[in-house]
Structure 1
């Protein structure tokens, strides 16, 4: 195998996504490994008994989604090992996105970090996460692989919203609640709103970037003169 083909194989978004995922999970998972609600990074409402179990379930299933997402966006793997792509996709959806999204729906309406703004943001995220997963799965089952690819690009963008939320949180707090940095008394309402805004930005911006990338991809294919994968029709079998 030539050095050029080896470089081309690994010149993909999958590698930095995989590294980012591992770093994120190493930092984020330890407080939940002991199943102690007191160590949770999020406030656990005492009057919602299912909140913490649902939160832990979401974190577990979400971790599976993050880890398998890198395989899903690796073009070389998809082209040369389609069976691995299919099975990792089944794990991504069946043990990651679908149960993780359902768990979010049990948690999001009761989250206290971002107040009502954050509750709505996370509920909308969960609904879109599930909807794009179902749309992508149905397109694949119907062998509309161009549509399947586009839906899954959107879905992976939503999957990584939890990772994007970390820098957005720091930025929103610095802009809207700089008192947290020790410059004065902290207004809990303002801090909650800053957290809520970061929750919206974490998935809305990801989705906009995904849509822009899909648009650019369609445009490049159109310029080359060939039909996009979305519009390619299977060749009918002949007798």
Structure 2
């Protein structure tokens, strides 16, 4: 028995999945990119300028460790490269349109994270005692998340690569929170203990950032379709 399809009605065209027919948004329609980069540049200027020259740098006592300042410079340079390249890493337009640039900036970010993070763990013992654990915890997680993201990228698991790179991004953006928290609390009409401010600056930012990133991943999981076993960029 054969099926006569001569008089059959033409099949209806498949309906695109929700959101799949939308054209990619132009770079200028993503208003968070420019403010993010401006915020990073302002932060870097605010943080780095007091440390040059060395004679005026507000460094903690480091007697018996003459390599402190050179290592601090390496830490600042590597951290600067990492935080700037991180802005390009989270730019969807650049990732889609210029994947080679995305990969190159990713390598810069990884190098900055590994070098800056390792040096940071070496010199953290000279930081004020209050907040040392928070700094060491954040820096260790920064290195770990970055390494895990690289491993998943090499395995072609770009869904998990993206997830852990966002975790790494959350950690590095903690630095901006630290400056903001201290400056806001110092201008409060009531007195806040400096020790409490310093401890809060070392913990609140990166913990809040990780929670925010995790919420965003949950919120966009069904829409993006890249967090469940995807092996595509």
Which of these two proteins has the greater Rg computed from alpha carbons? 2
Q: Is the 8 A contact 1:58 1:100 kept in 2?
A: yes
CA distance in 2: counterparts of 1:192 and 1:49, whole angstroms: 27
Q: Distance in 1 between matches of 2:61 and 2:29?
A: 42
1:159: how far off? 1.1
Secondary structure of 1:178's counterpart equals: coil
Q: Is the 8 A contact 1:44 1:51 kept in 2?
A: no
Name the CA distance, whole Å, in 1 between partners of 2:190 and 2:83.
Answer: 30
Query: What are structure 1's unaligned runs of at least 5 residues?
Result: 180-189, 222-226, 235-239
Residues 1:9 and 2:49 are matched in the alignment: no
**Alignment deviations for residues 62-104 of structure 1 (CA, whole Å, 9 cap, x no partner):** 011111111101101101111110011001111x111000011
- Partner Cα distance (2:59, 2:217) in 1: 34
Helix, strand or coil at the partner of 1:49: coil
Per-residue deviation, residues 204-230 of structure 1 (Å, max 9, x unmatched): 111111111111111444xxxxx4344
Whether 1:69 aligns to 2:86 is: yes
Tell me the equivalent position of 2:215. Answer: 212
**Alignment CA distance shift 1:203-1:42 (3 Å):** farther
- Note the residue ranges of structure 2 that are not aligned, 5 or more in a row: 1-22
TM-score (norm 1): 0.79
Indicate yes or no: 2:114 matched with 1:98: yes
Alignment partner of 1:157 is 2:183? no
8 Å CA contact retained: 2:181, 2:197: no
CA contact (8 A) 2:120 2:139 kept: yes
Structure with more helix by fraction: 1
TM-score, normalisation: structure 2: 0.80
- Output the aligned Cα RMSD: 2.4
Aligned to 1:30: 49
CA contact (8 A) 2:156 2:231 kept: no
1:22-55 residue CA offsets vs partner (Å, 9 max, x unmatched): 1112222222232x1x422342332443332222
Q: Could you tell me which residue of structure 2 aligns to residue 202 of structure 1? A: 205
Q: Which residue of 1 is the match for residue 125 of structure 2? A: 109
Q: Is the 8 A contact 2:51 2:57 kept in 1?
A: yes
Equivalences, count: 209
